[in-house]
């Protein structure tokens, strides 16, 4: 197998470009995706290669272009819609939820909507409350949507290609702090990562640390710190939030008997709370400690650097808590 190494940002670009070359029905649409090469440069060079038909700059009009893309998907095109920030999807979530997610069911199965909504999600750093929210739980709550949040460049490419080929509407949550991360990945044009499968990032025996997106980096750092105290942590990267890989979570917890979840999102009604509920209902007898969920503080994201740091999950706090769990 031949491989190459590139960044998360370019992996997304490569995934989109390969799928646009492969399938004439695939196109990319969004604000600044074409001539500007993407607000975060995730579509660098694509407009130059594919032109106006396949890489389309839209007006700043999320509700409208999302509905338009969904309509074209119902007819059989396979749009990739970029939100400059997932916070902006609030303007468009009616079409994501009421049109894209529900129409298959409402039509008795005859209308499909093969579409990918992608963009930067959660706290990219110092952009305050209206550009920092983690929407994983919001969209994972909706039947009819798949929700993906890759934590490295390899998975970003493989999962985005899988999402574009999937016939369901897919929410694809990227993270600005990961855009520069470099990983090795196959050059094979049919390389995909299966949707709905978690990955064991690091094996361990004392505690399972479960996370998605950038919080996997936090989890890895926590695990590294715990090693100094002789605690062996297993790190599980969910990769897909919905459908959830329950087997991977439960198998890990049954092995380690302790579970910790890390997320940037607010705790109440979140992915972390749902996973904690799952573990406690399906692996209760295996637990040696209550499941702990570390989340963003329940406040709009502050701008000041010190406050923003305090609002997000803290490695030190998580390490200290796990030490008390593993005595």
Partner 1 sequence: MNAQNIEQFKSEYSTEQLIEVYRQMLRFRRMSEKTAQMYQQGLIGGFCHLYTGQEAVLAGTFAECEKGDDHITSYRCHAHALACGVDEKEVLAELTGRATGISKGKGGSMHMFAPDKGYWGGHGIVGAQVPLGTGMAFYHKYMGNQNICVTSYGDGAANQGQIFEAMNMASLWGLPVLYVVENNVYGMGTAAKRVCAGELHQRGAAFGIEGEKVDGQDFFTVAEAVKRARKYILENKRPYIIEMDTYRYRGHSMSDPAKYRSKEEVQAVKENRDPLIRIYDCLVDERGVKESELKEIDNIVKANLKESVDFAVNSPLPDAAELMTDIMPK
Active site (catalytic) residues: 62, 131
**Considering only 97-105, 119-127, 156-164, 207-215, which stretch makes contact with partner 1 by CB under 8 A?**
97-105
DSSP 8-state assignment for residue 284 = G
Q: Is 110 exposed, middle or buried (0-12, 13-18, 19+ CB in 10 A)?
A: exposed
**Considering only 124-132, 161-169, 284-292, 312-320, which stretch makes contact with partner 1 by CB under 8 A?**
161-169
Strand 207-211 and strand 233-237: the pairing is: parallel
CB of 286 to partner 1, least distance (A): 29
CB of 107 to partner 1, least distance (A): 4
Burial 126-164 (b: 16+ CB within 10 A, else e): ebeeebbbbbbbbbbebebbbbbbbbbbbbbbbbbbbbb
Binds partner 1 by CB under 8 A, chosen from 10, 43, 103, 218: 103
CB of 280 to partner 1, least distance (A): 24
* Beta-bridge partner residues of 235: 202, 209
CB of 170 to partner 1, least distance (A): 11
Q: Answer yes or no whether residue 51 interacts with partner 1 by CB under 8 A.
A: no
Q: Which among 317, 326, 327 is positioned nearest to 294, based on CA atoms?
A: 317
- Our CB check for partner 1 shows the closer of 94 and 188 to be 94
Q: Answer yes or no whether residue 167 interacts with partner 1 by CB under 8 A.
A: yes
Distance CA(240)–CA(245), nearest Å, equals 8
Binds partner 1 by CB under 8 A, chosen from 45, 144, 186, 302: 144
Q: What is the chain's length?
A: 327
Binds partner 1 by CB under 8 A, chosen from 8, 27, 117, 266: 27
């Amino acid at each position: 197998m031949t491989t190459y190494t590139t960044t998360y940002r370019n992996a997304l670009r490569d995934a989109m470009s390969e799928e646009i070359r492969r399938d004439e029905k695939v196109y990319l649409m969004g604000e600044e995706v074409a001539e500007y090469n993407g607000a975060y440069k995730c579509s660098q060079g694509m407009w130059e290669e594919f032109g106006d038909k396949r890489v389309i700059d839209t007006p700043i009009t999320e509700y409208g272009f999302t509905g338009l893309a969904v309509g074209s998907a119902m007819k059989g095109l396979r749009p990739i819609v970029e939100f400059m920030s997932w916070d902006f999807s609030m303007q468009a979530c009616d079409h994501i939820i009421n049109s894209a997610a529900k129409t298959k069911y409402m039509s008795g199965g005859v209308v499909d909507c093969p579409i990918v909504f992608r963009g930067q999600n959660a706290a990219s750093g110092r952009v305050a409350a209206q550009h920092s929210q983690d929407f994983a739980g919001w969209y994972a709550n909706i039947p009819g949507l798949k929700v993906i949040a890759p934590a490295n460049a390899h998975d970003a490419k493989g999962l985005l290609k899988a999402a574009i080929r999937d016939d369901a509407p897919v929410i694809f949550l990227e993270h600005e702090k990961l855009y520069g991360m470099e990983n090795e990945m196959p050059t094979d044009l049919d390389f995909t990562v299966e949707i709905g499968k978690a990955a064991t990032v690091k094996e361990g025996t004392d505690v399972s640390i479960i996370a998605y997106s950038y919080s996997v980096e936090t989890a890895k750092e926590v695990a590294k710190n715990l090693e100094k105290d002789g605690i062996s942590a297993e790190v599980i990267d969910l990769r897909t939030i919905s459908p959830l890989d329950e087997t991977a979570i439960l198998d890990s917890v049954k092995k380690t008997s302790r579970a910790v979840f890390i997320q940037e999102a607010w705790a109440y009604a979140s992915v972390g709370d749902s996973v904690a509920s799952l573990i406690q209902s399906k692996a209760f007898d295996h637990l040696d400690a209550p499941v702990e969920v570390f989340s963003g503080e329940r406040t709009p994201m502050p701008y000041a650097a010190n406050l923003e740091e305090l609002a997000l999950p803290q490695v030190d706090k998580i390490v200290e808590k796990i030490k008390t769990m593993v005595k």
